[in-house]
Amino acid sequence: MSLFKKIKKLNTNWIIVITLISITWVNFNIVRWQKGNIISYDVGNYYSYLPAVFYEHDLSLSFLNDTLNKQTEQRYYWPNKDVHGNKVIKMTMGMAFTYLPFFGLAHVYCKLVNEPANGFSDPYHFAIQFASLFYFLIGLIFLLRVLKLFYNDKTVFITALLIVFGTNIIYYLTNGAGMSHATTFSFVSAFIYYTIKWHQTQTFRSAFMIGVLGGMITLIRPINIMVFIAFFLYEVNSIKELSAKIKLLLENHRQILLIVLLGILIFLPQLIYWKWVSGSYFINSYVGERFYFNNPHIINGLFSFRKGWLIYTPIMAFSLIGFYYLRKTTKAFFTALIVFTPIYLYVVFSWWCWWYGGSFGQRALIDIYPLLALPFAAFVAHVQSLGIFKRSVVYTLMVLFLLLNIFQTMQAKWNTIHFDSMTRDAYFDAFLRLTKNPEREQFLKHPDEDKAKQGIDEY
């Protein structure tokens, strides 16, 4: 009996167990929390609300004005300055809310064992490392529920297995844990689930969950408010269905109003913080950084060796192919995803730093993997209808792409794949090499960030 036939007999929930055990094992082997480098860079920005509030009791960050705290500022807080010279935390506070339970547990633990309870000792790093896995597993549960509404267990298991271990999300559960992507994956998975539930039966409970989840998705990363496209275009594949959808929304206007109000309420603390620290309810806390919608880098974002999505996560090509089969298997999401995906790619790759800094693969796209899992599953379902030879070829490619992803994840950890300066020559020099070439520098092209911030190509 072949492996893929045996999968028919597997409970799809086994993927949760496999993920929990394997990711936990990896994390305890790399022990990043002992190196003190988890709460830094972007994670430090997301997290800095918590020690500022609960340890320093000062969201204005005025304590950083003390010359003795300059090292603390440079290592942990990384604030920007607004036009008035006020220190402002760059990232929105959504991730800080998700970290809060883990911060609290670490804080209590530090008090009990006399560890420094300052927000930055090893237990805090440990807590943030495993927060990503915790939220991801919740998201995986919701994603499995969604997929099982449309596909058989074999398709669901294969899809989930390949999304978890065949994409760059595994990097952000291990060496890049703490970043927002695994958590956003979770919220988007749940958002899709409750979108379906609300359209099945219009209840205030489902509306409440959509409002809360949509609000958190937006508070974590404001551009991800675009997920509401999936809600509004769900089950809309014709003018007649669009008319019916508008009627449905109007008939349930109280629930729609609840969704809107909850989303605003969840984002309100951010507006209050911006007003308090800068005098304005809306500011660009990413000082000097912006979108260039007249100069998107979609081709580079998808195919370049610097950070091309399909170069470093080639297995997701099956998701794009799956759009062709989506209407047959998951018709309710067809128009929503056809509209949403190109808009999302356009916006994401219009950011001045379209390669998204020091990272592995196109991390910005991890946020929408729950949505892209639907066409991926549509392709997997189609493969099962193929003859044995074609089916074997595709399954072999899937396994090879999965193994390549795991290997490239290891390369990224060891900096064999450079975090932002890869080229075609550098990629093939590093291909299947675990340790970096001492002479690699000749193959790299470092981005000119000053030019990129002006909307000029980075090299």
Q: Between the ranges 63-72, 78-87, 408-417, where is the mean pLDDT highest?
A: 408-417
* Structural domain includes residue 446: no
* Structural domain includes residue 442: no
Q: Is the pLDDT of residue 67 over 60?
A: no
Burial class (CB in 10 A: 0-12, 13-18, 19+), 28: exposed
Q: What confidence score (pLDDT) does residue 83 get?
A: 86
- What is the tens place of the pLDDT at every residue in 180-194? 999 999 999 999 999
Of 74-83, 282-291, 446-455, the poorest mean pLDDT is in: 74-83
* Structural domain includes residue 434: no
- What is the tens place of the pLDDT at every residue in 142-171? 999 999 999 999 999 999 999 999 999 999
Q: What confidence score (pLDDT) does residue 5 get?
A: 54
Alpha helices in 297-419 (DSSP H): 298-303, 309-312, 317-329, 334-348, 369-383, 388-413
Q: How far apart are CA 263 and CA 99, in angstroms?
A: 20
CB 20 within 8 A of CB 164: no
* Structural domain includes residue 436: no
CB 139 within 8 A of CB 368: no
CB 230 within 8 A of CB 179: no
Q: How far apart are CA 239 and CA 245, in angstroms?
A: 10
Average per-residue pLDDT for the chain? 94
* Structural domain includes residue 226: yes
Mean pLDDT of 240-249: 97
Q: Is the pLDDT of residue 235 over 70?
A: yes
- What is the tens place of the pLDDT at every residue in 374-405? 999 999 999 999 999 999 999 999 999 999 99
* Structural domain includes residue 449: no
**Based on the structure, what is the number of domains in the chain?**
1
Q: For the stretch 39-55, what's the b/e string if a residue is b when 16 or more beta carbons lie within 10 angstroms of its beta carbon?
A: bbebbbbbbbbbbbbee
Q: Is the pLDDT of residue 315 over 50?
A: yes
- What is the tens place of the pLDDT at every residue in 18-36? 999 999 999 999 888 888 8
Per cent of the chain over pLDDT 90 is 86
* Structural domain includes residue 451: no
CB 311 within 8 A of CB 427: yes
Q: Is the pLDDT of residue 427 over 70?
A: yes
* Structural domain includes residue 448: no
Range of the domain at 321: 3-413
